[in-house]
Amino acid sequence: MKLPRDALAENPPEEPNEDAEIAPGAVPIGLTRIVDAMYADINNPAIATDDYFANRTIFTTINAMVHRINDAVSARLDGDAREYRSIDSVQDDKVSNFFEQEVLNSVSVNGIPPHKLTLKVGAPIMLMRNLNPDIGICTGHDYGLLSSNHTSFTRR
């Protein structure tokens, strides 16, 4: 895919290696700069519409970076974060000791949602599975998070 040069964010020439060595889990300065530039109006509901998010995309090739980008964008959103976790227990005790829980919770592969999902009101979310195609709740649709409670959330 060829992107126009003006669609790419560049690091200033005086900081060529600012992201060369970063601590695991840290958000690189270059990524912070990109997120700040692309999502400057993320907390303004009049501006941060579905089109606002649809026209701002950061491409990456690995899931670990996707999670870092999502965390960096979420950090810019006002409000409290709510954490949703996958079910990580089994009914049969004989099977439950086969894999360590920490190992299973750390698996990050394409097509499987993460064990821990952190959301804030206003966050853009995209469905990765068809939930109810008859009413349009299906793969690839973008939504905004309106509200959340302990077990569910409401989309716009």
Q: What does the domain layout of the chain look like in residue ranges?
A: 23-122
> 22: which residues sit within 8 A by CB, 6+ positions away?
28
Closest Cα to residue 73, out of 83, 81, 61? 81
pLDDT tens for 53-80 read 888 888 887 877 888 888 888 888 898 8
Element (H, E) at 146: strand 142-148
Neighbours of 34 (CB within 10 A): 18
Tokens of 128: 């990765």
Cβ 82 vs Cβ 118: under 8 Å? yes
pLDDT in tens, 69-120: 888 888 888 988 888 888 776 666 666 566 777 887 887 777 777 888 888 8
What's the whole-model pTM score?
0.64
CA-CA distance, 19 to 92, in Å (whole number)?
Answer: 46
Rounded distance between C-alpha atoms, residue 6 and residue 30, angstroms: 17
